Amino acid sequence: MNHRYLLVLLFLTVCQLASAQFAKIIDKDGYVNVRQQATVNSVVVSKIAADEIVYAFPDEKFGDWVIVDYTDNHNKSITGYVHNSRIKYIESYKQIPTVFSDEGTAKFMAKDITVQINSDRFDYEKNKGDFSSTQYDGYTIVDKFRGQQVWGTDGEIPTSHYTSIQATIKGRFIQIPAKEIENLFNVNNEFATCYYDDSNDILYISTVNGDGAGGYAVLFEIKKGKYNARVVTMPF
């Protein structure tokens, strides 16, 4: 199966999940209740602090409620319902236009803001010593790279990787640390987007990568000219 065909399959998946997206928790109380069902009377299964990033799955049948996925600081996965008034979708911020995109580069530019994403083919033979694998029912699954979870391969050998992600925001140059991108594989620059929250001086870089069952979404946050965090999730 060639890379272009895999991209088409991924595009169809993205279209099906077009409403699923990253969002920020906003609540004047400093946290939001995550409920078991889409009703204010439902059991509270967890709480998420304000300003945390979740992956939201809105659906008309839930009315003003959305399903959210979130992984806390203890690596515990939280899934439940949050009222729509308590989240702000990342794509609602000002979008930084794409000026160039191909398999190796994506570049975005607006007044005072430039973002460039660089990727390349991954040399597995050169780096295979950094991988670890697990045996499942006779199959070898590549699941760790330099001690971190492998994203984007569904247990197969990676085909591409990030070489750098950098931004210039109002004269400040920021580069995403190598540790934050080294375990993200099978890059699809065609799906990268950038948004800027001007009032809080936060830049968001988001994309959907991977092939088929290895698909994942990642969001990088640069706050007040400094790299702040990343969120990685499987959007299925």
**pLDDT tens, 22-34?**
999 999 999 999 9
CA-nearest of 109, 145, 151, 103 to 127 is 145
Spatial contact of 234 and 153, defined as CB atoms under 8 Å apart: no
- 21-91: which CATH topology? SH3 type barrels. (2.30.30)
**pLDDT tens, 206-232?**
999 997 788 999 999 999 999 999 999
User: pLDDT value at position 218?
Assistant: 97
Rg over alpha carbons for the chain, rounded to the nearest Å, is 18
User: pLDDT value at position 140?
Assistant: 73
- Structural element, H or E, at residue 85: none
- The residue with greater pLDDT, 10 or 64, is 64
**pLDDT tens, 124-161?**
999 999 999 887 777 777 789 999 999 999 888 899 99
**pLDDT tens, 87-126?**
999 999 999 999 999 999 999 999 999 999 999 999 999 9
Q: Among all chains, which residue has been given the structure tokens 């515990």?
A: 76
Residue 5 has pLDDT above 60, yes or no: no
